[in-house]
């Protein structure tokens, strides 16, 4: 025989029904609380305007940051170039007196010992050094027959002559050089002066009373 199952009393059924109704009410309240509030057309337009302004602001900030970054990179590249150029400049300046001596030896040695076997070797060394300087951006300053240029020439001798116009370079005493278009070392030159102006200058000096 099966035992009779205990029947729930009325009180228990009532509690369950109340509990069920309470849960349904709670879920309904939660759904109404999380439901987004509907915006008006004006509010949407205002929100869109603010969002667009923010986007433009961020775009401008990004553009400024990119420009600053590019300027920084260019500045560093210019600085590195200047440092390398200055280092090359200092090194080349130490080589120029050596080249001066070798070129003087090229002129003098054949006059003293025309059959010396090392003359060919000397010429080869000078040519190699000149080519190395040329590849580094060094260029000789042309001067003979040209008017004196104080930015590129250094007048160490003045000679009276009427054969050429005054201030014409008539002799190169020491070669001058440019490095990538900028003055590396001025050319020492002899320039022509007008004989009459020289005599006039001497007369003016003689006529000036002694300051003692």
Same domain? 121 vs 186:
no
Per-residue pLDDT of the chain (212 residues; tens, 9 = 90+): 445 555 555 555 555 555 555 555 454 555 555 566 777 878 888 888 888 989 999 999 999 999 999 998 999 999 998 898 889 999 999 999 999 999 999 988 888 777 777 888 889 999 999 999 999 999 999 888 899 999 999 999 999 988 899 999 999 999 999 999 999 999 999 999 988 755 555 666 666 655 44
**pLDDT of 73:** 92
E-state strands within the chain: 138-140, 153-160, 169-174, 177-179, 182-185, 187-193
CA dist., res. 176 & res. 187, Å (int): 4
Instruction: For residue 196, give the CATH number of its domain.
Output: 2.30.22.10
In a domain, 143, yes or no: yes
Q: Please say which residue of 119, 136, 153 terminates a domain.
A: 136
| pTM confidence score | 0.60
The parent domain of residue 149 ranges over: 138-206
In a domain, 171, yes or no: yes
In a domain, 71, yes or no: yes
In a domain, 83, yes or no: yes
Q: For the chain, first and last CA: distance in Å?
A: 156
Same domain? 145 vs 113:
no
The sign of the torsion formed by the CA atoms of 157, 160, 161, 165 equals positive
Q: Please say which residue of 75, 108, 136 terminates a domain.
A: 136
Distances (CA, A) of 168 to 17, 39, 147, 173: 122, 89, 4, 14
In a domain, 6, yes or no: no
Reduce the DSSP state of residue 138 to 3 states and report it: strand
């Amino acid at each position: 025989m099966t035992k009779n199952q205990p029947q729930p009393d009325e009180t228990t059924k009532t509690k369950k029904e109340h509990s069920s109704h309470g849960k349904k009410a709670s879920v309904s309240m939660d759904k109404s609380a999380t439901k987004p509030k509907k915006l008006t057309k004006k509010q949407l337009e205002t929100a869109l305007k603010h969002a667009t302004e923010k986007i433009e602001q961020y775009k401008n900030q990004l553009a400024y940051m990119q420009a600053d970054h590019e300027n920084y990179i260019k500045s560093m590249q210019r600085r590195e170039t200047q440092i390398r150029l200055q280092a090359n400049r200092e090194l080349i300046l130490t080589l120029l007196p050596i080249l001066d001596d070798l070129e003087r030896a090229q002129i003098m040695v054949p006059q003293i010992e025309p059959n010396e076997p090392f003359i060919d070797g000397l010429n080869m060394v000078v040519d190699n050094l000149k080519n190395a300087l040329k590849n580094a951006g060094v260029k000789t300053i042309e001067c003979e027959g040209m008017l004196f240029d104080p930015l590129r020439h250094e007048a160490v001798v003045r000679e009276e002559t009427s054969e050429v116009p005054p201030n014409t370079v008539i002799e190169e005493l020491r070669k001058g050089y440019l490095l990538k278009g900028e003055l590396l070392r001025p050319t020492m030159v002899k320039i022509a002066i007008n004989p009459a102006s020289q005599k006039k200058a001497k007369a003016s000096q003689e006529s000036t009373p002694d300051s003692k």
